[in-house]
Every structure is written in structure tokens, then in C-alpha cells.
Structure 1
Amino acid sequence: MTDPAVLWAACLADPTDDTARLVLADLLRESDDPDQQARGRFLWAGVTAARWSRDSDVIDDPLYYSAQRELAAVATAGHPAHWLGFLGVGPDPLTRTDWVWDATHDRVTVRIGDTTGTYARGMLAEVAVTLEQWLVMARPALAGWPVERVTVTDAPGLTFGVERIGREWRLEARLKLGGRRVPMSGASVLPFGMSVSPVLADGPAEWWVEERFGDRATLVEGVVAASRVLVADLRQIAGDRWPSPPRKRHTPPR
């Protein structure tokens, strides 16, 4: 019998290969371990649901709805939340009140506190975390999942992207900012387009930097150090335009 770890590694090596995912799903569903069974069911359902376009007005194939029911069953049981929790997200252990989930097509999004993880085609593909959280979870996240996009929640506009290019892997950090107007009187920064005079105007801006790795193992080993360097480079480029953390909204008690 094929080793599930070998098939999982194949899925990480080529995140676009749905055949490898389906073979792995079949193998995991035959496991005696409930968590492995759940991974297999979720993986099969995610790949199957993704066969239909998200833009389809009408889907009349019963297989699609079987996949949707399987995604919902596994998500409701809390498995995707706990898989995200294994990366160091949320309290340990997680309880049912610590997480919520929703789904659109093949994408299942889990929220634990201020952190979100999105599964696409049955595997974790995106996370939204603080920069500090990313530096803690980056290695186990990339070692275990084909994460492609990271949104940094405490630096609005900052994202990381992970992409295979030929035999290499690219880690990209990108900062995308809207325009702003800075009153010359020294008042606070205003959104671009507000009429205040006299002002200095900065238009929208976008910068990106990257580092490449010879293989995925090297990427996993070096992702934390590379993330720090790329952020430092963007900070230097952005200067005083580096984004501040968003203000937290406080809901008054009723």
C-alpha cells in the first residue's frame, strides 16, 4: 500500500495536481483513524466541488451536492478548525465555542478569534494572521499544507504569496497602499480624496520583493528568516507610509 505521507508530499510538491489529491483522499478514507478519515472525506469533497465553476448559475449534478454535504459534515464536526489549531492558532485545546466556519463552493473558511484559514480543494490554501503569528506558524504551515497566500492583518495591505515556478519556489511579500492626503498643518493623515487644504498628496502605491528557493524543503526551512528580511525591505521602501495596525472596534455592552 502507498504511504499516505508520500502522497501528501506529492500534493505539496505540486498544489495544482488534483489527481494526487484524489488518490490520497481514497487512501485516507480507508484509514481506521477518524482524523485521517475526515481528511480524506474533506479532500475528496473539496476537489470534487471545485470541478464546477464558481460562476455557474445552475448546477444540477447530484455529485456536487454530495460533495457539499461532505464538506459541511466535516467542518461542522470541527476537523478543519482543529487542523488550523494544530498550527498554534487559538487556545489549546479548542472548544466548540472557539471557532466558526462558512463555505462557498469548494472553499471552507474557519475563524478562530481574529485568525482565519481558508481551505480550497480540500487543503489549507490561505490564512489571515498577524505578522507575529505568521512568523510562529510559517514553518509548520508550509511543511503540512500548500498555503499560497497570507494576509497580514496588523499591517493592512501586506501579503505574502507562495508559488512554484519551474523547479524553484518563490516567497513574495507585497505591500499595496491606497492614496492619502497629509495636512501640512501636522494633523492626522486623511484618506485620499478628502478635501483639505493645504495638503501633501500621496497616490496609491504597490511594492513587492521576493526570495527564491531551490526546493520546497529549503523554502520550509528558510521561510521565517526570509519573511523577516522581506518585511524589513518593504518597511525601508515604504518609509513613513508603512501601515499602522487597524483600530479595534469595541462594542458597548447592552
Structure 2
Amino acid sequence: MTQKVLKFAERHLQKVEKRQVPCFTIKEDKGAGLLECAIEEEPKDLEKLLEIFEKHVLSSGTHDNHGGYLGFVVGGGLYPAALGDYLAAVTNRFAVKASFFSCSGAVRMENMLIDWVAGLFDFPSEAAGNLTSGGSTAIVLALMTARHSKQLRGRDFVRVVVYMTDLCHVCVSKALTTIGLTEAVIRKVPMDDNFRMDPKILRQMIKEDKKVQIALKLHGKN
């Protein structure tokens, strides 16, 4: 099984290198043929499964591991990294900081990686961090951290102001719902010519909103 999968992966990587930009393929059935391969109790031939996988999964959509694909930030699809994922999946060690005793070496490995990334951005030595499965989870943790740092309670949520642009990723809105800030005030900040949030306007908006909050408190309103 290992040899068959490895050969399939190597053929795939060779095809990726030859693929031209744009790195997007549209198939008429959009992978619907996969539905004909039902999940059953009896095993199927591995080579047949790999063939189905290539035809109905890999043949359509974005080819994220192509060097020319710059649509958004994803994993690089690097072969050494894939082997690392393979080892992590096979060994299935429980690497959680809260359970250091379960696999101390894996926790140390994660801490080393976080420290290395922090160093790339010149963060102070006492900086801390966490590895997440992706951007959506990272946004949830970031917003929760901000909420806890201000010691916000449910009664405060209607006064919370969230500043974003019209091009803000949908994961931010989902994260606000996840952490209970659905009632927060959403303020859209204008962007510059490069579609970046304008910091000068943002500062002015924050200044104005603070004046409103002070005025409400003076009048005894929450």
C-alpha cells in the first residue's frame, strides 16, 4: 500500500510541475462522479481508489501546491512537509501543552517552532503563541484573547465595536458569532488604493466612538 501511494504521489508532483498557470481547472461534473464510489464495509482495490481520487478530486478546482498558485495562503504542499504530516498521523501522539506528560518531546518541538517564528518577526523572548489548523481557528483564538483581555461580559457585547473593511474575510464574521459577539457593532473602515485599511481614518473612527461611549455614560445609558 505504501509503495502504491508513494508512486501515485510522485506522478502527481511531476504533473504539477508541468501544469501551466492559471492553476484552476473546471470540470463539468465538479467531482460528482465520486458519489458513485459509495462507502461500504468491504474494502476496495487501492489502485482503483487512487484512480477515482485523481479523476474526481484532484482533476478539478484549484491546484494549491503549484508554485504559481497565489490565490491565498495555504500549505505549500512540500514533499518533506508531507512526510512530516505522515509521521504525525501514523504515530498519533497527543501533543498538547496542557498535557505535557503525554508527549513532552512533541510539545517542546511545537514551542521551538513558535519561538523560531517569533524570532523572524523580532518578537520579544517572552512572546507566546499557538499553532492552529488554519486561519479560521486562528481568528477565533485572536478575538477570544482580545475579549478576555478586556474582561468583557455578556452585558458588554452590545457596546463592543469591531472595525473591518468591506473585503474582510468571512471567517471574521463567523468567529464573532462563535464567541458570542453577534450583537457587536460592526464599523467598516475605508481602504486605500491598495485595498488596505486606512489607519488614519481608523484612528479617527475610534476617537469618535470613544466620545460617544463617554457621552452615553454621562447620561446614565449603557
> Normalised by the size of structure 2, how large is the TM-score?
0.35
- Which of the two has greater helix per residue? 2
Which structure is larger by alpha-carbon Rg, 1 or 2?
2
> More strand by proportion, 1 or 2?
1
